[in-house]
Structure 1
Amino acid sequence: MAVTEAASSGLDATLAFALVGALGVGSQWLAWRLRLPAIVLMLLAGLIIGPGLGLLNPREQFGDMLAPMVAIAVAIILFEGGLTLNFRSLSDAAKGVRRLVIVGGPLGWAASTAALYYVAGLSIEAAAVFGGIMIVTGPTVIAPLLRQARLSKRPAALLQWEAIVNDPVGALAAVLAFEVVIVMQTATGPAEAAGALLTGIAVASVLGGAAGWGLSKAFRMAWVPEYMKVPVLFVVMLGVFAMSDSVLHESGLLAVTIMGLWIANADLPSYAEMRRFKEHATILLVSGVFILLAAGMSLDVLSTLDWRAAAFVLAVILVARPLPVLAALAFSNIPWRERLLVAFTGPRGVVLVAVAGLFGERLVSLGIADADRIAPLAFALVSATVVLHGFTLAPMARLLGLSASEAPGVLILGGSRWSVALGQALTKLELPVMVADANHAHLRAAREAGLPVFWGDILSEAAEHRLELAAYEKLICATDNDAYNTLAATDLAPEFGRENIFQLKRVKQSSTRHALPATLGGRAIGADDTFFDANARLSEGWEFRVTRVTEEFTMDDWIAKHPEAIITAEMGPNGTLRLFAEGERPKANKGARFIALMPARQERRQGGGQAG
């Protein structure tokens, strides 16, 4: 039967699976190129190939496997979210997160239930269950939005922690409300329902904690070989989710979140590799699940969305989300600007749609007729909030002064003369610049030049907590230690992107015996100079100079006049910064500015000055 239905839609299950993957990853890539919210493009892609063109109907192609596929994908997404939550990263946002979960969660449940009952017109049973699910703010959408908006550290931490911690809390709130509905609709006693709920929560907590503790111990004691750690982690996580879910539906989400939290705070040496793999898996899963859920919306379901649905979405965005958050953060140490940003940022995501669809079907089976409206209302809420916050979060953050940086900055490792001169030139392009060095004496010249500095190891935990790395798009490793430059470039490549990591040439780089693979270190920058060569140039009278390209004075004119100059960076008219290795040429569009390393002008040499 499933094969016949799949054939009727024009795609078999294999082609449908490949199409979902291609559209999901393709949407993410296109969003990166166009600097648009990825979630918006994924929703559009799903709607086009699903209810639009009719190429994909997930229920037909995947049949009974669709629900467990989505459930497992959501579990993996939440587990990866738990892996990102190291308690030390909370710092001064800890109090705010506790308030958002402990106070804001119940208040949000009540406010959402009221909006569903009074505005959307749902019955109190359906409203109570769906209202619990609406506590969820969606880590699947928060993470890409935070990357795009480049928020300051504390509001970003508040939004990220609230989203991940409230995901299982919202699912359990829905379970609680659902158990109450069962008591009202069946002969099941309140004591039995409460017992089932408490048992499920206890089992989820014990399973998640025990699995996290056991895996941490096994990895630390080397009971699992390095190449098997990720597969073992993956299989154990699936087992914990399945066992907990068999005791109480949706408690598996709590179990895997607790497991991820435990491992994130266990200080495992292989933690970075495991988390990196899970991040890659999550990108694929988020893409796939969004495409599937959007494609699964039929035109008949979408046609049920009327003016009451629109009023409900507005009520949630303007009332049911802001008021509980503002009440939870009242009289806290969180500044009012950050409270406003968090209050009016509540995008919903995969977990909301998946869990809402599941409980909607169960409520219908219990005789709650209007519960069939839960799924389309959830989809409308997700679509509206994703589009709204996808386009407004960054402007709102800038308006409130909560962006890590207006322009993509540059972080320079090493406080040498070359680093300071380049930093001064970059500041003339109105870019944020930070010079970091573990040696306090090396930072003296940078401080005297008025450049912001960080004293400490850039790879240390202190740097992670004190530096807002989101403010810096590019990293230049230019210390006098080639090995450290290579280590920093390699370790921070996933954070910045390998295309944004640069370092000075290693002293023995040209030697075959000492050559390193392309996977290590950063890209070359400027002249083909080592640390010592680069600083020797400045001692010999070279300087970094900033020049603007005009119609009258083109790049070719400038190069003909200064053939010995080495172009190091270009700031395009649209504010895009590019760094170059020796021999590379900028696009040289009208209005662009570029930095070049060149001998100082004759009058400066005679006066003994040095340009910045």
Structure 2
Amino acid sequence: MEQTLVIALVGILGIGAQWVAWRTGLPAIVLMLIAGFLAGPVLGVFDPEHAFGALLEPMVAIGVALILFEGGLSLDFRELRHTGSAVGRLATIGVALGWLFGALAGIYIAGLAPEVAILFGGILVVTGPTVVIPLLRQSSIKSRPASILKWEAIVNDPTGALCAVIAYEYFRKVAEQPGATLFEVVPPLIIAALIAGLIGYVAALAIAWSFPRGAVPEYLKVPVLLTAVIGVFVISNLIEHEAGLVAVTVMGVALANMDVTSLRSIHPFKENVAVLLVSGIFILLSASLSIEDIRYINWPIGLFLLALLFVVRPATILLSLLGSKIPWNERLFLAWIAPRGIVLVAISGLFALRLSDLGYTDGNLLIGLSFAVVVVTIVAHGFTVDFVAKLLKVKGTTRPGMLIVGSTPWTIALAEQMRDMKAPVLVVDASWQRLALARQKGIPFYHGEILNEATEHNLELAPYQNLVAATENEAYNALVCNEFAHEIGRDRVFQLGESADGEDKHALPASLRGRALFESGFGVEDVSERQRQGWVFRKTRLSEEFDFEKMQEKLPNAANMLLLVRDNGTIRFFTHAAKPEPRAGDTILSFSPPQTKTAEEKAAKKASKKQGVQPT
């Protein structure tokens, strides 16, 4: 099959699996593994090794490097304030214990040769951002355990690679010079890792200095950054195998903490690149698996996999976090969640060949065994993360919430309605005075500038899947919507429309604005004026008997539907561009004028007073 067709199929399968995962809520990584396995060894649609030959390994290696760099860009040291010393413990004590327990399980349960088990135990300390981050994205986990898992995944990936390199270099040294000691192997490798880290840090400094000063034009920033990452990776690998992973991780973390404002504009692009790389690499690696690799799996290997899930990981986490301030429910959650991904498979495949060259026949087991670990951990953790999170009370709010930017009488009234409908709601404003009404009404609020980068670390934004920007400044509202569109989704950021008179010659282009609230496109002045006239929000629950048409008959003609909330908490807005289909069980929130009593109602009330009957 032509290489171009294989590339197209890899893209279709990878992104298709991501889309199905989004629609169904199933773990994306599981679906990608299944898609690649079916396309490769089961149906034989394509064979990546045949299609790309010797280029497959460097392609995967560079892809992993870019993924680790992108993950490093998401690590801000300010997050460590919430995780305490947990990340440091897991990156040091946890690595040592995980390596020890994994090696012992490989020797005494799987029956591997000691050398192979020790090397594989080092690789097993990785968890991997390629699987952890998508898992956290799909599940609403509280910020502290989610942050610990993310940091552990990104920091331990290059660490696990270095552990494998240390083990391999030691066994190679012993094969060449019997009687060689660890002291002859470890110090040079540590020095190589430090040099690689320094190279990554210097590259980050160069980027941080040149980008803000205009030394690189805007259209070249992304190409320069990607080329620099690949260059740092390749140069560091020339110093020592897998040292490049250390270099790109350091480079990413360093840039994330150097406050390079010009990097914010490329965040959407680098996230899109990461999604493409994760999808493509998982499809390629799972399609590369052969039926012969699976035949190595036997009962001892099965028991080894169970030991990884129920003994090695829990013992590593619980012992590492002894005496820490992390609550026990979060420790138990961390002890269960440890899916493995691309780095495990890529490094295992590399060292399987090297161990075979050294004469260790069990080295061939590493390919099938690494895939078995990936499949078992992803399936076990991917399908149980929600259940375990609920059981241990570390799951965040599950009902979609609303983030309201701007504290005005209208937004506070909207927040009250959303709170009454059990939807998480938060009002954000930079003015303490304007937040007075929110404090008085007991509405959750945040005092601060929503566009300040520090807000991302001081405020938990995960529960809020819809944003309404409704300050008195329409340009500012548009800026907020544009800033959060790539995180929340362009179709989930809303702002009040232009003035209803349509005479604003300075109106912002639609491409720069969020979705306009209300089908009528009410603007800031419109809702303020109507609220002064006594307009109010009204909630109406639909049923089989009382449908949308009957509801419209009961409301005043001037009423405007704003949104509906379904039984599962899903929020859908009535906008100038989209109109949801109301159905039984939905609660519709409308903004309508005060209802005036009809002549018949007034006469009935007057008659009841004459008869001494109190109206109901």
> Given the two structures, how large is their TM-score scaled by the length of structure 1?
0.94
State whether structure 2 residue 566 is matched by structure 1 residue 572: yes
Query: Is the 1:567–1:585 contact (alpha carbons within 8 Å) kept by the matching residues of 2?
Result: no
How far did residue 463 of structure 1 move?
2.1
Cα distance in 2 for residues equivalent to 1:486 and 1:52: 50
* Superposed CA offset, 1:387-443 (max 9, x none): 222222122222222222121110111111111111111122211111111111211
Matched letter for residue 299 of structure 2: W
How many Å separate the matches in 2 of 1:142 and 1:314? 20
Task: Measure the CA separation in 1 of the matches of 2:311 and 2:187.
Answer: 34
Q: Which residue of 1 aligns with 2:609?
A: none
- Note if contact 1:122-1:370 (Cα within 8 Å) is conserved in structure 2: yes
Q: Of the candidates 139, 150, 159, which is equivalent to residue 149 of structure 1?
A: 139
Aligned to 1:590: 584
* 1:107-163 CA-partner distances (Å, limit 9, x unpaired): 111111111111111111001111111110110111111111121111111010010
User: Quick one: which amino acid aligns to residue 144 of structure 1?
Assistant: P
Tell me by how many angstroms 1:358 deviates. Answer: 0.7
**What does residue range 91-106 of structure 1 map to in structure 2 within 5 Å?**
91-106=81-96
Greater shift in the superposed pair: 389-398 or 369-378: 389-398
Return 80-89 or 66-75, whichever deviates more: 80-89
CA separation in 1, counterparts of 2:212 and 2:376? 45
2:216 corresponds in structure 1 to 224
Cα distance in 2 for partners of 1:99, 1:518 equals 50
- CA distance in 2: counterparts of 1:341 and 1:69, whole angstroms: 35
User: Counterpart of 1:6?
Assistant: none
Instruction: Pick which of 503-512 and 217-226 moved more.
Output: 503-512
Decide which of 285, 291, 294 is 2:286's aligned counterpart: 294
| Among candidates 168, 175, 178, match of residue 185 of structure 1 | 175
Q: Could you tell me the TM-score, scaled by structure 2's length?
A: 0.93
Q: Please report how far the alpha carbon of residue 329 of structure 1 lies from its aligned counterpart in structure 2 after TM superposition.
A: 1.2
- 2:423, 2:569 within 8 Å by CA — same for their partners in 1? no
Report 1:155-554 matches (<5 A). Answer: 155-187=145-177, 189-190=180-181, 192-194=184-186, 196-507=188-499, 510=502, 513-526=505-518, 527-554=520-547
Partner deviation per Cα, 1:542-567 (whole Å, 9 max, x = no partner): 21111111111111111123233211
1:47 aligns to 2:37 (yes or no): yes
**Deviation at residue 584 of structure 1 after TM alignment:** 5.1
After TM superposition, which residue ranges in structure 1, 4 or more long, deviate above 6 angstroms? none
Identity %: 44
Tell me if structure 2 keeps the 8 A contact 1:91–1:465: no
Pairwise CA RMSD = 1.9
C-alpha change, 1:416 and 1:140, in structure 2 (3 Å) is same
Q: Residues of 2 paired with 1:225 and 1:512: CA distance?
A: 35
CA distance in 2, matches of 1:509, 1:463: 36
SS of corresponding position for 1:442:
coil
Distance 1:399 1:545 in 2: 37
Contact 2:120–2:164 at 8 Å: present in 1 too? yes
Contact 1:412 1:475 in 2 (8 A): yes
Give the secondary-structure state (helix, strand or coil) at the position aligned to 2:85.
helix
Deviation at 1:195, TM superposition (A): 5.2
**2:155 maps to amino acid:** V
How far off is 1:538 after superposition? 2.0
CA 1:539/1:583 → structure 2, altered by over 3 Å: closer, same or farther?
Answer: farther
Tell me which residue corresponds to 2:15.
Answer: 25
Cα distance in 2 for partners of 1:12, 1:121 equals 42
Deviation of the 1:78 alpha carbon: 0.6
- Structure 1: gaps of 5 or more residues: 1-10, 607-612
Residues 509/51 of structure 1: CA separation in 2 closer, same or farther (3 Å cut):
farther
Distance 1:418 1:220 in 2: 40
Q: Distance in 2 between matches of 1:260 and 1:539?
A: 52
Distance, in Å, in 1 between the alignment partners of 2:209 and 2:596 is 67
Looking at structure 2, the residues matched to 24 and 517 of structure 1 have their Cα atoms a distance apart, in angstroms, of 35
> How much has 1:602 moved relative to structure 2?
4.3
Match of 1:88 among 67, 78, 98: 78
Instruction: Name the CA distance, whole Å, in 2 between partners of 1:519 and 1:296.
Output: 43
- TM superposition shift of 1:192: 5.0
Consecutive unaligned residues of structure 2, counting only runs of 5 or more, are 603-616
Return 510-519 or 482-491, whichever deviates more: 510-519
Residue equivalent to 2:607: none
SS of equivalent to 1:551: coil
Query: 2:614 aligns to what?
Result: none
Structure 1 residue 57: Cα displacement = 0.9
Query: Which piece of structure 1 moves more, 125-134 or 542-551?
Result: 542-551
Secondary structure of 2:269 counterpart: helix
1:487 is displaced (CA, Å) by 1.1
